[in-house]
């Protein structure tokens, strides 16, 4: 036991000595380390100021969620506490809040934003979203350098650019349309809190006013999409009820007119057959009126169902023009490049340079022996 303790103490001393030796080596080469860190800071500043500024607008809204199974409220609460959602199992909607991010990221939703007009804060010019992404959104300078070979190769390939009479087809996008969809999908995103079902929509653009305007449009389009889905059946029932009501009203007016004309032409006639015909026409007019009245009530009920099915959204945090940029984080980039320069210089001094010196020494010994 004593021998094991002694060996462990020796190993610990050797490790301490090794660490001290490494620290001494770095201290002796401190001027080189400082130079490398300065170069890292310079490169970090160049990278930080080469990345275009990005502004993010965040909107939070809470949708109205109606659960017909009120008795399952306790289970839903327990599921929410566990971080789970009962939206899919409620059985009421196929598009519940957890699927809203998929709706926002879908191709039809994104292509529907191409024609939205936005105004830049810098010079007040108005563009469509597609034009802004195509002409007014820029990347860092190295992106153009790295993409230059691809552009040169593209000159020799047949292009699939859309003609003048081209109509956007979500089923079959062109290369440029697909590129715009991907670019817009990276800048427009949505997320849902599993516990509270609060929807957070983020829109990132290089102009703060464009970011706020597009975020507001995304919220309104999402509300329209969900409202159209939720009220689709109720609106269909309303249209059918209105159609029946129009037909019933036309029949009632026709029966009423027919009864009135019969009375005008047969006033003062005491024949039993004339009285019977008058009663029959009166009954038909009354039946037509009853049917017309019933269909009018059905129209009112259908209108109430449409109103009841229309969801209500509470805007928790509305869209506002961002003041501060979200990207790039210049301080973090600077610190990161300085740290990488320090690590690279330390690795060179402690490991790579000694290995290279050993290799040169062995190579020189080998040459001397060969002579």
Percentage of the chain modeled with pLDDT above 90: 46
Residues 236-287 have pLDDT tens digits of 999 999 999 999 999 999 998 988 888 877 776 667 777 788 888 889 989 9
Domain holding 354, by residue range, is 18-49+336-365
pLDDT at 74: 45
Q: Is residue 158 part of a domain?
A: no
What pLDDT is recorded for position 73? 47
Write down the pLDDT at residue 69: 46
* Predicted pLDDT at 297: 94
Identify whether 185 is part of a domain. yes
One domain, residues 217 and 71: yes
The domain that holds 72 is classified in CATH as: 3.30.1890
> Regarding predicted confidence, which is higher, 339 or 310?
339
Question: In the predicted model, what is the mean pLDDT of residues 149-155?
Answer: 70
Q: How far is CA 299 from CA 58, 113, 251, 306, 337, in A?
A: 41, 35, 17, 11, 69
Helices (H), the chain: 2-28, 30-50, 73-81, 100-104, 107-111, 129-131, 141-155, 175-187, 208-230, 232-265, 272-309, 330-347, 353-370
Residues 6+ away with beta carbon under 8 Å from 215: 57, 58, 59, 201, 202, 203, 319
Q: Are residues 128 and 181 in the same domain?
A: yes
- Cα distances (Å, whole numbers) of residue 78 to 81, 85, 103: 5, 10, 27
CA-to-CA dists, residue 236 to 224, 295, 300, angstroms: 17, 15, 14
pLDDT one-digit tens code per residue, 162-180: 566 778 888 989 988 999 9
Q: What is the DSSP letter of 72?
A: G
| Domain shared by 347 and 281, yes or no | no
- Residue 186 resides in a domain: yes
Is 213 domain-assigned?
yes
Q: What is the pLDDT of residues 182-239, one digit of tens each?
A: 999 999 999 999 888 899 999 999 999 999 999 999 999 999 998 888 888 889 999 9
Peptide bond into 328 cis (omega under 30): yes
The answer to whether 250 and 256 are in contact (CB under 8 A) is no
Question: Is residue 193 situated within a structural domain?
Answer: yes
> 100 and 249 share a domain?
no
Residue 112 and residue 216 in one domain: yes
Q: For residues 5 and 127, which has the higher predicted lDDT (pLDDT)?
A: 127
Which SS3 state, helix, strand or coil, does residue 117 take?
strand
**CA angle, residues 304, 306, 312, in degrees to nearest 5:** 105
At 4, the pLDDT band (50, 70, 90 cuts) reads low
Distance separating alpha carbons of residues 245 and 369, to the nearest angstrom? 111
**Does residue 90 fall inside a structural domain?**
yes
Interatomic CA distance for residues 334 and 50, integer angstroms: 13
**195 vs 366, residue with greater confidence:** 195
Domain membership of residue 4 (yes or no) is: no
pLDDT (mean) for 310-314: 85
**Residues facing 192 on adjacent strands:** 199
- Confidence (pTM): 0.72
The 10 Å Cβ neighbour count of residue 181 is: 20
In a domain, 7, yes or no: no
pLDDT-based confidence at 311, cuts 50/70/90? confident
Structure confidence at residue 160 as a pLDDT band (50, 70, 90): low
Q: Using CA atoms, how far apart are residues 245 and 288, in angstroms rounded to an integer?
A: 11
List, for residues 33-49, the tens digit of each pLDDT value: 999 999 999 999 999 99
d(CA 305, CA 231): 8
Indicate whether 72 and 212 sit together in one domain.
yes
Task: With beta carbons less than 8 A apart as the criterion, state whether 322 and 57 touch.
Answer: yes
| Whether residues 178 and 258 fall in one domain | no
My answer on whether 131 and 275 are in the same domain is no
In a shared domain, residues 218 and 318: yes
Give me the number of domains the chain comprises: 3
Residue 363 CA neighbour count, 13 Å, CB half: 6
How confident is the model over 51-109, as pLDDT tens digits? 999 999 999 998 776 554 443 444 454 445 444 454 444 445 556 788 889 999 999 99
User: Can you give the pLDDT at residue 3?
Assistant: 56
Residues 30 and 82 in one domain: no
Q: Does 111 share its domain with 242?
A: no
Q: Are 191 and 249 contained in the same domain?
A: no
């Amino acid at each position: 036991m004593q021998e094991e303790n002694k060996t462990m103490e020796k190993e610990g001393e050797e490790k301490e000595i090794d660490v001290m030796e490494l620290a001494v080596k770095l201290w002796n080469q401190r001027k080189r380390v400082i130079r490398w860190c300065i170069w890292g800071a310079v490169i970090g500043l160049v990278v930080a100021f080469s990345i275009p500024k990005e502004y993010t607008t965040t909107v939070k809204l809470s949708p109205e969620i109606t659960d017909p199974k009120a008795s399952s409220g306790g289970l839903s609460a327990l599921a929410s506490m566990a971080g789970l959602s009962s939206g899919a199992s409620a059985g009421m909607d196929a598009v519940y809040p957890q699927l809203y991010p998929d709706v926002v990221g879908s191709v039809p939703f994104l292509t529907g934003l191409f024609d939205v007009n936005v105004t830049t804060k810098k010079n007040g010019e108005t563009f469509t979203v597609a034009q802004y992404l195509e002409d007014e959104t820029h990347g860092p300078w190295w992106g153009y350098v790295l993409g230059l070979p691809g552009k040169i190769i593209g000159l020799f390939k047949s292009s699939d650019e859309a003609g003048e009479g081209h109509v956007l087809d979500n089923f079959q996008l062109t290369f440029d349309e697909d590129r715009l969809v991907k670019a817009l999908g990276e800048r427009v995103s949505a997320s849902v809190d599993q516990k509270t079902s609060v929807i957070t929509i983020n829109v990132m653009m290089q102009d703060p006013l464009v970011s706020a305007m597009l975020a507001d449009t995304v919220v309104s389009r999402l509300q329209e999409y969900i409202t159209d889905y939720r009220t689709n059946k109720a609106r269909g029932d309303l249209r059918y009820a209105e159609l029946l009501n129009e037909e019933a009203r036309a029949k009632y007016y026709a029966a009423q007119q027919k009864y009135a004309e019969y009375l005008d032409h047969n006033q003062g006639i005491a024949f039993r057959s004339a009285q019977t015909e008058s009663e029959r026409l009166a009954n038909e007019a009354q039946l037509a009126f009853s049917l017309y009245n019933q269909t009018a009530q059905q129209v009112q009920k259908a209108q109430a169902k449409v109103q009841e099915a229309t969801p209500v959204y509470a805007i928790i945090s509305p869209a506002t023009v961002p003041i501060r940029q979200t990207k790039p984080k210049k301080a973090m980039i600077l610190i990161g490049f300085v740290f990488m320069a320090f690590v690279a210089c330390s690795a060179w001094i402690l490991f790579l340079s000694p290995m290279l010196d050993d290799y040169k020494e062995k190579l020189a010994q080998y040459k001397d022996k060969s002579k």
